[in-house]
Structure 1
Amino acid sequence: MKIGIEFYRTRGADDAHAVVGRETVEVDDLDGAIAAARLLARTLDMPQRPDSMTITDANGRIHYCGIIGSEAVDEGRQ
């Protein structure tokens, strides 16, 4: 399935989000999408290091939203 990944920084004072990168990739399932997003977060050249991500399908439906690098954020699954 084709998914979109949006990487962003979150400001703690007011929870504002700044998008620092977007990618579209082809994956088999949601677990593959999360793994791809975490890999891209470490390897993409972005203006700032992202701390969070959102994964959407081709229709814009959110499938995952969470903190990068935190294995305990699986409650973000939709």
Structure 2
Amino acid sequence: MHYTFEFYRIRPGDKAHATLDRVQQEASDLDAAMMKARSLFASLDLPQRPDGVRILDEGGAELFVWNPGGH
């Protein structure tokens, strides 16, 4: 299945989300996609460090959100 990983920042004042990057990935299931997302979170070269990552399915529905800092 194809998944989209959306890496984002959270603005402190109003908690608005700004997307830093979207990455398309293939994974056998959601658990495998979550492992890939966490791995990319630590290794992806972005101009800013993301605050979180969302995983979207092929239709754009949100399946998982991970914020390591608990935002």
One fold, TM greater than 0.5? yes
Structure 1 length normalisation: TM-score? 0.81
Give the residue type in structure 2 aligned to 1:50: P
Give the residue type in structure 2 aligned to 1:29: D
Deviation per CA, 1:23-46: give whole Å up to 9, x if none.
000001111111101111111111
Aligned residue pairs total: 70
Higher relative contact order (CA 8 A, sep 6+): 2
Residue 49 (structure 1) aligned with residue 49 (structure 2)? yes
Structure 2 length normalisation: TM-score? 0.88
Q: Secondary structure at the match of 1:3?
A: strand
Q: Which residue of 1 aligns with 2:68?
A: 68
RMSD: 1.4
Structure 2 stretches lacking a partner, 5+ long: none
* Aligned residues of 1:51 and 1:67 also touching (Cα < 8 A): yes
Question: Residues of 1 paired with 2:14 and 2:48: CA distance?
Answer: 19
Identity among equivalent pairs (%): 43
Runs of 4+ in structure 1 off by over 2 angstroms are: none
